[in-house]
């Protein structure tokens, strides 16, 4: 028996390859399926089942393409009603894979169809639990992402999750290994650990949601208090996972299309496309196509695209040479299938053609420190929890996730500094604002990490924002 966690950091998502005696199963595959096919081919195993823990909201699963490529059936738990052929398992239904067994454990709460899969070893003993978004390391799934059914409220679903955890999961042996669907960085929970695997016994001790002393009412309050709105792309991903989607092969073929400099501007104007620049923050601030938006590939790329780029928006890319297909693929993971191509030759071809470029003023924290006597305006675009933990005393919180709600507080007629934790999100924020007419914003290189190395006054004052 072999279990492999295939973790994708950009999405903080875990897929799983389970193998036994020449047979294999995949749990919650990503949309690009070549890695699963390559691994099983090398190992000499045949994919027998594709298990889905629920209709995912934060990424497009590869279940359809993988089923077509292998002939393996797609398995969902009770209450699932996909538009394509799938096996809807009953609670406690068992599936044989080589010498091991996978048992369906229906755990409604995160969504109504949410299901965990219990792996029983060759002797029939519980060995591992693939929990999807029901149970994370340090947290549980948020109960507000399900498609509304039978007028169930978020509180109703939270109550169901409480019952599922206590009646279906906590009754398992402490040594059962927990393999969750996500880790820290995912928007599917509030308090996830950076760890991506644990045991049930450890989680009973450390996970706030599993404490014996936590009543059902307190659990519901804790789980629903302070929930931020989910990213706008989540409903689209649920729909695609439930109803089907175009093969990622076709999406990549369409998106990895070179656009010559001579045609680039006309295409953008004719299609209303967003110019998305995915290079590094340092490269972007030095020079970029006017009105383009920065979201760097070497960061939480896909989640920030989903949070900030409108669903259905047509996109043309400016990438580092050689990373075009990677970019299109990572966009497709979250259902952004409208990439029309990329700037052929990258930004250097644009410059060589004598085209206009723009730039962002960027300074280190020492420069900000030296000008404190002038009482500069400073905007902190980190999340509320980061700000509440520690922040520059006079900095104004304007979280990148909800930048549109803070536009009135950011002046256009005077300089203002913008920072985040390390310099990634601040460049995203300034690029968005600059495209809308804010031309006096200054990026703080190194972000708050750099500011902490100076004498800039900091505050640790906490407020009532959520964890």
Tens of pLDDT, residues 60-95: 999 999 999 999 999 999 999 999 999 999 999 999
CA dist 283 → 41, 296, 323, 344, 435 (Å): 40, 10, 15, 17, 17
pLDDT of residue 150: 60
Mean pLDDT for the stretch of residues 324-349: 97
| CA 359 to chain CA centroid, nearest Å | 29
Query: Which domains does the chain show, CATH number per domain?
Result: 2-236 (3.60.15.10), 246-352 (3.40.250.10), 361-459 (3.40.250.10)
pLDDT of residue 151: 77
Mean pLDDT for the stretch of residues 259-284: 98
- Specify whether the CB–CB gap between 94 and 103 falls below 8 A: yes
3-state secondary structure of 450: helix
75 vs 193: which has the higher pLDDT? 75
pLDDT band (50, 70, 90) for residue 466: very low
Q: What angle do CA 421, 133, 214 make, to 5 degrees?
A: 90
Check whether 467 has a pLDDT greater than 60: no
| Block residue for tokens 């256009």 | 412
Question: In 3D, which of 466, 465, 386, 464 has the Cα closest to residue 419?
Answer: 386
Structure tokens at 99: 């010498």
| CA 403 to chain CA centroid, nearest Å | 19
pLDDT band (50, 70, 90) for residue 462: very low
Mean pLDDT, the chain, integer? 94
Question: In 3D, which of 381, 414, 410 has the Cα closest to residue 397?
Answer: 381
Structure tokens at 174: 């402490």
Q: State the Cα–Cα distance between residues 243 and 450, nearest whole angstrom.
A: 47
Partnered with residue 441 across adjacent β-strands are 416
Q: State the Cα–Cα distance between residues 202 and 196, nearest whole angstrom.
A: 13
* pLDDT tens digits for range 291-331: 999 999 999 999 999 999 999 999 999 999 999 999 999 99
Q: State the Cα–Cα distance between residues 23 and 45, nearest whole angstrom.
A: 5
5: number of Cβ within 10 Å: 14
pLDDT of residue 464: 29
pLDDT of residue 230: 87
Check whether 269 has a pLDDT greater than 90: yes
Q: What angle do CA 54, 327, 305 make, to 5 degrees?
A: 60
pLDDT of residue 187: 74
pLDDT band (50, 70, 90) for residue 193: confident
* pLDDT tens digits for range 81-140: 999 999 999 999 999 999 999 999 999 999 999 999 999 999 999 999 999 999 999 999
| Block residue for tokens 């709105």 | 229
Q: State the Cα–Cα distance between residues 222 and 169, nearest whole angstrom.
A: 19
* pLDDT tens digits for range 207-246: 999 999 999 999 999 999 988 888 889 999 999 999 999 9
124: number of Cβ within 10 Å: 10
């Amino acid at each position: 028996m072999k279990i492999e966690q295939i973790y994708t950091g950009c999405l903080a998502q875990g897929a799983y390859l389970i193998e036994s005696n020449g047979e294999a199963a995949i749990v919650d595959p990503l949309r690009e399926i070549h890695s699963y096919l390559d691994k099983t081919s090398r190992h000499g195993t045949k994919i027998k089942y594709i298990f889905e823990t629920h209709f995912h909201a934060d990424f497009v699963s590869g279940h359809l393409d993988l089923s077509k490529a292998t002939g393996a059936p797609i398995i969902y738990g009770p209450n699932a009603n996909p538009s394509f052929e799938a096996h809807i398992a009953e609670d406690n239904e068992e599936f044989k894979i080589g010498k091991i067994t996978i048992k369906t454990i229906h755990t409604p709460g995160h969504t109504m169809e949410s299901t965990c899969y219990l792996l029983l070893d060759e002797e029939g003993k519980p060995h591992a639990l693939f929990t999807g978004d029901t149970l994370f390391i340090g947290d549980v799934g948020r109960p507000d992402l399900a498609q509304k059914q039978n007028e169930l409220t978020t509180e109703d679903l939270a109550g169901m999750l409480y019952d599922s955890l206590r009646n279906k999961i906590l009754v398992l042996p402490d040594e059962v290994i927990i393999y969750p669907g996500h880790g820290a960085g995912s928007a599917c929970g509030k308090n996830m650990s950076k760890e991506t695997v644990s045991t049930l016994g450890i989680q009973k001790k450390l996970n706030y949601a599993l404490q014996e002393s936590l009543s059902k009412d307190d659990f519901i309050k804790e789980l629903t208090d302070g929930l931020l709105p989910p990213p706008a792309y989540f409903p689209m991903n649920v729909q695609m996972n439930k109803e089907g989607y175009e093969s990622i092969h076709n999406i990549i073929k369409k998106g990895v299309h070179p656009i010559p400099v001579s045609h680039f501007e006309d295409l953008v104007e004719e299609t209303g496309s967003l110019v998305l620049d995915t290079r590094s923050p340092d490269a972007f601030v030095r020079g970029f196509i006017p009105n383009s938006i920065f979201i760097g590939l070497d960061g939480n790329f896909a989640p920030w695209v989903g949070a900030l780029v409108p669903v259905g928006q047509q996109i043309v890319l400016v990438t580092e040479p050689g990373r075009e297909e990677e970019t299109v693929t990572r966009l497709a993971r979250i259902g952004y299938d409208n990439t029309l191509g990329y700037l052929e030759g990258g930004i250097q071809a644009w410059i060589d053609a004598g085209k206009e470029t723009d730039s962002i003023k960027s300074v280190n924290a020492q420069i900000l420190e030296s000008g404190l006597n002038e009482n500069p305006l400073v905007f902190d675009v980190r999340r509320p929890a980061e700000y509440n933990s520690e922040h520059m005393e006079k900095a104004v919180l304007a979280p990148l996730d909800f930048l549109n709600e803070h536009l009135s507080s950011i002046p256009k007629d005077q300089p203002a500094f913008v920072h985040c934790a390390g310099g990634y999100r601040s460049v995203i924020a300034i690029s968005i604002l600059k495209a809308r007419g804010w031309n006096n914003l200054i990026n703080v290189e190194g972000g708050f990490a750099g500011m902490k190395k100076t004498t800039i006054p900091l505050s640790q004052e906490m407020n009532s924002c959520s964890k």
